[in-house]
Amino acid sequence: MDFQVPNTLAEEIANYMAERIMTGQIRPGERIQEATLAGELKVSRASVKEALYTLERWHLVDITPRKGASATRLDAEHASELYDVYMHLLMMLAARLCERWQEPDRQPLLNAVAKVVDQMNQPSANITAIVEASFAVMEACCEVVGNPYLTEALSNFKPAVSRAYYLSADRYRKGLDQISKFFTHLPQAVLSRDSAKAQALIRDFAEHQKLLIQQALTS
């Protein structure tokens, strides 16, 4: 990806750096020097600093007083803790969705799920496309639920979770049957307003995904 100066500079710097962190070009724990990055991208240090604060909010960067910024660690333990919090946020989203969806929401939600299934049915499964389609389902659910705090929290976890998926893509690809079953049963539970079942499906699925990520990072 070539860097291009955009209108929303700090956000674009953050997106550019996020991709480098998520794909492993910047390794876990690696220092990020503001001055070096500003010189590389030919932007101001103030824009870089603002971008780093965004990356910190996305759980991709740790900023330590007097030490500066570094890419967050991503070993099996950190991935487990990350996914535990993310799982509980998703369970909260499912519970609210069961309570709040209305008939006009049915088809948009089903359409979002259908796009995930369509990606999984492609001859050569593109993990990035499947993950992005899965996040689109989450975003559609957030729109129906209408809780801005929950939406923000989930959005901020998206880059860090994407990073974990990217690093465990091979194992993730082997678990597509599990993903297919999940996206078959979850809509049924939500549309039946069965909150307990929807949350249980998310818990079981998240625990399975967490195990795949832990195994990938351990190996």
pLDDT, tens digit (0-9, with 9 covering 90-100), for 19-39: 999 888 999 899 999 999 999
Please give the model's pTM, rounded to 2 decimal places: 0.86
Label residue 74 by pLDDT band (50, 70, 90): confident
For residue 3, the model assigns a pLDDT of 55
What the block records as the tokens of 31 is 């220092």
Cβ count near 184 (within 10 Å)? 11
Mean pLDDT value of segment 86-94: 97
Q: Which amino acid is at 187?
A: P
Longest dimension (CA), the chain: 55
- Count H helices, E strands: the chain? 10, 3
C-alpha dist (Å) from residue 62 to 17, 70, 71, 72, 148: 13, 5, 6, 6, 25
pLDDT digits (tens, 9 = 90+) for 102-147: 999 999 999 999 999 998 888 887 888 888 999 999 999 999 999 9
Cα 134 to the center of its chain, rounded Å:
9
Residue 2 has what pLDDT? 52
* Residue 169: band (very low, low, confident or very high) from pLDDT cuts 50, 70, 90: confident
Looking at residue 210, its pLDDT comes to 86
Mean pLDDT, the chain, rounded, equals 90
Q: How far is it, in rounded angstroms, from Cα 73 to Cα 30?
A: 9
Can you read off the two tokens belonging to residue 129? 């496309």
Distance (Å) of CA 190 to CA 7, 68, 160, 207: 40, 44, 26, 20
Judged against a pLDDT cut of 80, whether residue 196 lies above it is answered with yes
